[in-house]
Amino acid sequence: MTVERDRVLRQLREGNERYVRERGTELIGGVPGVVPAHRPVAVVIGCSDARVPVEQVFDQPPGSLFIVRVAGHVLEPAALASILYAIRDLEVRLVVVLGHQSCGAVCAALSGSADEALRPLVAPIAGRLQLLGDEGRCEDAAVRANARAAVAEVHAYLHEVAPDLAGSVDVCGAIKSLDSGEVEWLD
């Protein structure tokens, strides 16, 4: 192991020890040994960006949100199946696509990244942005368009695989400002 890896692992271990000592009962419902019920009130499809900690953004306790995270909220099959699981098995009826300011995945798509390893991530976003024309070249507009397109993709997916449930599920988009932390809800 490298010195840097040792330092980071120690930092994570110490952080978990502090968490358990100071807030551990928050995770277990305030009663030692009692795990909270898994009853999320919403699915949040968020970006993998570490600056967007979903539970903190919405000030929600553990167990209250079903979070699906992938850079640029690209909806690959496992992400879509996860959303469907939450809707079918956990009876969640609200899905929020949470984009954010300065999204690296959206910026990579805007720049036309040719990195073949990033293609599964960048190509779907680039496809979403093509519909905008020149308007999609502005980063803020692209972030919003990417979130709106993901909302439309979730709607289409639900109508295809779970038409009996699709009408009872609300899907909306939102954008988190990294500057202020505020969430702007999209129409």
Given the DSSP bridges, would you call strands 65-69 and 42-46 parallel, antiparallel or unpaired?
parallel
Chain position carrying tokens 């929600």: 60
Mean pLDDT of 112-137: 84
Domain hosting 57: range is 37-185
**Which tens digit of pLDDT belongs to each residue from 8-67?**
888 888 887 877 777 655 555 555 556 667 889 999 999 999 999 999 999 988 788 999
Q: Exposed, middle or buried by CB within 10 Å (0-12, 13-18, 19+), for 43?
A: buried
Do 19 and 93 lie in one domain? The reply is no
Chain position carrying tokens 């898994």: 38
Is pLDDT of 97 > 80? yes
Do 1 and 45 lie in one domain? The reply is no
Mean pLDDT of 166-170: 95
Structure confidence at residue 157 (pLDDT): 98
Structure confidence at residue 123 (pLDDT): 93
Mean pLDDT over each residue of the chain, to the nearest integer: 88
Give the DSSP letter of residue 111.
Answer: H
**Which tens digit of pLDDT belongs to each residue from 61-92?**
878 899 999 999 999 999 999 999 999 999 99
CATH number at residue 138: 3.40.1050.10
Do 50 and 63 lie in one domain? The reply is yes
The strand pairing partners of 43, in sequence order, are 66, 95
Do 22 and 84 lie in one domain? The reply is no
- Provide the domain count of the chain: 2
